[in-house]
Amino acid sequence: MDQITNSKANKAASPIGDFKIFATEGQARTGRLQTAHGAVETPIFMPVGTKATVKGMTPEELTGMGAQIILGNTYHLHLRPGEDVIAELGGLHKFMNWHGPILTDSGGFQVFSLSDLNKVTEEGVEFRSHIDGSKSFLSPEKSMQIQTALGADIVMAFDECLPHPSTREKIIESMAMTKRWLVRSRQALTRKESLLFGIVQGGLDLELRMKSLEDVTGVDLPGYALGGFSVGEPIHLMHELVKVVGPQMPKEKPRYLMGVGTPLDLILCVDAGIDMFDCVMPTRVARNGNLYTWQGRVSIKRTEYRTDPSPLDPECECYTCKNYSKAYLRHLFLSAEILSARLNTIHNLHFYLDLMAKARAAIREGRWAKFRDFCLTRFIKT
């Protein structure tokens, strides 16, 4: 069993930022990262709470299904309700009643993906809000200011995230900007309780990825992330690149793959030495009636489930699977009932968190290769 991550004993056990590896098999590894709000057992999936909520879930439900750390979004929280409001109300943990660790992204990805009009300069990015069109500005300094006001345990350096495809020239130019912005992010972060992670870019070019890795890890930080994936590239190219780059990231620091992905993605990337993951996929597809199970992906809207009395996944111990049939879940979805989104989200998040818990146990017990191969046979078509 994993240790209880938010206990007072764990908070006092190691200094903030301490990362210990307990077991390895091949490149896969399991360890623990200490934060100001408790320890995080890795490998771990982090549910995404973009606007200070993991959609449809209470903090108590997340804790009950094994969530250790969640994400908040700098861009969205800056625009609404504003970091000053959250700080005045006691910080993001108190605001959303989440007592475990929180990671906040820098806002860079949203600036480039949600804003039709943005102007990038050396100073930062001027953009129009996707809410009301008003002008806003984000820079490394502003991003650190916002994340500090939110009180995040792990904060991400401000970087430029390019779409796929981008030209080699543009990628090289962006990498240089990201490196300069990383230095400014570190200089601007004054909150000792917040752990700053740098972000490796470089597109799908292995040479450029390795150059960005060298640049970013040249700045001594508590952890490092791979960014710029899940932006439209063929997924097999991401798998191939992470398999090479992941093991080259510093062994003594946590490795975070941003915005990825499916259960298959997680298993392949744990096998490449990645420790931390986040993605909106399990909650987003749940609301569309798509569910991940140990038998593969299920579209609950299908006619074949109309009178099916069986649970969604007989191998799952989540609340949804223990209490409801496929027929009922299909009925809720087709009726557009709010409970449909709730029950589907409960299952998908439980599945992801359980997958990572089983991965941790397999690595500790020296049976990772067997577990990995078992998962591949289940997930390869989903």
Residues 70 and 141 in one domain: yes
Q: Residue 218: pLDDT band by 50, 70, 90 thresholds?
A: very high
Residues 183 and 290 in one domain: no
Query: Which of 255, 279, 303 is the last residue in one of the domains?
Result: 279
Residue 344 lies in domain: 281-382
Q: Residue 9: pLDDT band by 50, 70, 90 thresholds?
A: very low
**DSSP assignment, residue 337?**
-
Q: What is the pLDDT of residue 222?
A: 98
Residues 132 and 268 in one domain: yes
| pLDDT of 4 strictly over 50 | no
Domain count for the chain, please give it: 2
> What CATH number is associated with residue 91?
3.20.20.105
Q: Residue 145: pLDDT band by 50, 70, 90 thresholds?
A: very high
Q: What is the pLDDT of residue 1?
A: 42
Q: What is the pLDDT of residue 117?
A: 64
Q: Residue 379: pLDDT band by 50, 70, 90 thresholds?
A: very high
138 token code pair: 């984000």
Mean pLDDT of the chain: 94
Task: Measure the CA–CA gap between 105 and 114, rounded to whole angstroms.
Answer: 15
Residues 152 and 181 in one domain: yes
Residue 3 resides in a domain: no
Place of tokens 């191939």: 240
Residues 314-373: pLDDT tens digits?
999 999 999 999 999 999 999 999 999 999 999 999 999 999 999 999 999 999 999 999
Q: Residue 232: pLDDT band by 50, 70, 90 thresholds?
A: confident
Residues 270 and 290 in one domain: no
CA distances from 247 to 50, 88, 168, 215, 297 (A): 29, 42, 24, 16, 29
Percent of the chain with pLDDT over 70: 95
| pLDDT of 382 strictly over 70 | no
Q: What is the pLDDT of residue 61?
A: 98
Task: Measure the CA–CA gap between 198 and 189, rounded to whole angstroms.
Answer: 13
Residues 84-122: pLDDT tens digits?
999 999 999 999 999 999 999 998 888 877 766 688 899
Residues 13 and 139 in one domain: yes
Residues 193 and 287 in one domain: no
Known catalytic residues are 105, 278
Provide the strand spans (E) within the chain. 19-25, 28-35, 38-42, 44-46, 70-73, 102-105, 118-120, 125-128, 135-138, 154-156, 195-200, 223-226, 255-257, 276-278, 290-293, 296-299
Residue 174 resides in a domain: yes
Q: What is the pLDDT of residue 226?
A: 98
Residue 322 resides in a domain: yes
Residue 353: how many other CB atoms lie within 10 Å: 21
Q: What is the pLDDT of residue 380?
A: 81
Residues 27-68: pLDDT tens digits?
999 999 999 999 999 999 999 999 999 999 999 999 999 999
Residues 120 and 250 in one domain: yes
